[in-house]
Amino acid sequence: MKILLWTSRLIVGTIFILSGLIKANDPHGFSYKLEEYFEVFAHDLTHKTEMVLTEDGEKLKDEPCAEAFKDAMYSKEDIQLQEKDYAAGVPFLLNMFSFFGDNALAMAIFICVLEIALGLSLLHGVFLRWSVWLLLLLTVFFSFLTFYSAYYEKVTDCGCFGDALKLTPWQSFYKDIFLLVFILPLFIWQRTLAKAKESNAARLAMLTASSIGMAALCGLQFDWWLPAVLLGVFHLIFEAGRAWKPSSGANWGMALALVITTGFSLYCSAFEPVKDYRAWAVGKDIREGATFVSDRVSVQMVYVRKSDCLEVRQPTDNWDWLDSTFEATHLFWKQDQTILEKGQEPGIKDITLRDSYSGEEYGDSLFKTKGYVLLGAYNHLNEASASVVKDQKALIPTARNAGILYLLAAPDFDEVLNEFKNENQLDIPVCFNDEKALKTILRSNGGLVLIKDGKVVAKWAARNLPSPDDLSSLLQR
- The tens digit of pLDDT for each residue in 134-146 reads 999 999 988 988 8
Closest by alpha carbon to 112, among 8, 28, 237? Answer: 28
For the chain, what is the mean pLDDT? 85
Q: What percent of the chain is modeled with pLDDT above 70?
A: 89
CA pair distance 116, 17, nearest whole angstrom: 4
Q: Does domain 354-475 have CATH number 3.40.50.2300?
A: no
Distances (CA, A) of 314 to 51, 298, 309: 31, 11, 16
Specify the domain boundaries for CATH 3.40.30.10 within the chain: 354-475
DSSP 8-class letter at 198:
-
User: Does the structure show a pLDDT above 60 at 66?
Assistant: no
pTM of the model: 0.81
pLDDT above 70 for 445? yes
Question: Among 350, 346, 348, 409, which residue's Cα sits nearest to residue 374?
Answer: 409
Res. 57 pLDDT band, cuts 50 70 90: very low
DSSP state for residue 219 in the 8-state scheme: I
